[in-house]
Amino acid sequence: MSEFICRLGTPSGEIVTRIVEAAAADEARSQLEREGFRVFNISNAAGGIASVLPFGNSGKKARVKQADFLLFNQQLSALLRAGIPVLQSISLLKARSGSSNLRDVLADVEEKIKSGVPLSDAFEAQGIFPKIYTASLLAGEKSGALDDVLLRYVDYLRRSVGIARKLRGALAYPAFLLVAAAGMIAFLTLYIIPRMSNLFSALNSQRGLPTVTVLVIGLSNVVVGNIWWLLPLLVVGGAGLYIWLRTYRGRLMLNRLLLKVPVAGPLIRNMATSQLSRSLSTLLSGGITVPDSWEIASEALNNVELRLRSQAVTPMIREGRGFTEALQQTNWLPELALDMIGIGEKSGSLREMLDEVAAFYDAESEVRLEQLTTLLEPVILLIMAAVVVVILLAIYLPIIQMISSGPMSGR
């Protein structure tokens, strides 16, 4: 049985999203229609364990690195603007690509084009490219301006790559601090304290040890004495958590939790607003309709919870409701973004306004990201310092007590 994400219309007129278990998508659709629902969309939740294990994707092509994909599209756009036909451009780029994965993909794309398959269908058949990319290619083919559409997609991809790099760079130092703190605490607990145990035992026979020393020694003895089953337990638990977080339900719960974190939640919303606005602008510039553009752009959102909230918008637009009015039902887009989009919709400059929204929330995301890293670093340092101070107090307090109560203490 597989899990499917289903966007449904209820008999009362509400739009809901449900997860249904069925052997196939057609069976899920039939089951829901028998229950009285109107089925708008069904997509595979990819929630099984096989989908998150390395051998679960053996039938799929290896993914192309984002940097290689960006370079390929830049070169393809330049070749098309120079008047070189699509097939010849693909052949040239295949021969010059430094990525073996990309060469394999382009070889398959080239064969499909030779057999009469359109460029957009050839890339979509690979199963590894985002929907926004194949939709942009289709729009470019229909409008006869494939080079212009590709150029705009390259700009979109370049900005997305830049934001991802900034995010990784900003979180690298806090991650390093966490690893360093864990290593230092493990070294003190597993190596230093056990070697001080004999001295502490001798002192304990003469006078009582400080409470902090008793607690730290007890914890260290428990860890050292059970390390051979605690370590495998941690490894298995970590692997299980990783696999669960790769499932649909795991990602959904994690994403919901992250949205509630004080600083991280607004940052995620701002980044999602920027991504969504830029995706919409890119698709609309290619001539794709607003409902189709929203459906494709919302599916590209990384946060599963925000994606689910956004999926109810497309049916409302198709039913004739205003775009901005439908967006308000998502209940996560910032008020300022809704106001700006509403002005763009009324003035007939929706695509230009979406670019402004994306640029504004890019800048806002950078400010939020700086706030997050500024907050994380001292918090991690304080926690690390507090743990180290407790361990050092546990080691040195008995020694200080022994010195202070020795034969020289009365002089």
Phi, psi of 18, deg, nearest 5: -130, 155
The secondary structure of 14-45 as a DSSP string is -EEEEEEEESSHHHHHHHHHHTTPEEEEEEE-
Residue 86 lies in a domain: yes
Count of the separate structural domains present in the chain: 3
Whose tokens are 């040195």? That residue is: 396
Q: Which domain holds residue 11?
A: 2-45
In this structure, the answer to whether residues 140 and 160 fall within a common structural domain is: no
Question: What's the CA gap between 30 and 27, in Å, rounded?
Answer: 5
Average of pLDDT values for 219-226? 84
Q: What pLDDT digit, counting tens, does each position of 300-355 carry?
A: 888 889 988 888 888 888 888 888 888 988 888 999 999 999 999 899 889 899 98
**pLDDT band at 51; cut points 50, 70, 90:** very low
Question: What's the CA gap between 316 and 390, in Å, rounded?
Answer: 59
0.85 cut: is pTM over it?
no
What CATH number has the domain bearing residue 228?
Answer: 1.20.81.30
Phi, psi of 19, deg, nearest 5: -105, 120
**pLDDT band at 38; cut points 50, 70, 90:** confident
Q: Which of 145, 177, 200 is the last residue of a domain?
A: 145
State the virtual CA torsion across 103, 107, 108, 110 in degrees, nearest 10.
130
Q: What pLDDT digit, counting tens, does each position of 371-389 carry?
A: 888 888 888 888 888 888 8
Question: What's the CA gap between 135 and 340, in Å, rounded?
Answer: 25
In this structure, the answer to whether residues 166 and 304 fall within a common structural domain is: yes
In this structure, the answer to whether residues 292 and 175 fall within a common structural domain is: yes
Number of H helices, E strands in the chain: 18, 3
Best CA proximity match to 192, nearest among 328, 30, 391, 339: 391
Residue 165 lies in a domain: yes
In this structure, the answer to whether residues 30 and 121 fall within a common structural domain is: no
**Poorest-pLDDT segment among 112-126, 268-282, 393-407:** 393-407
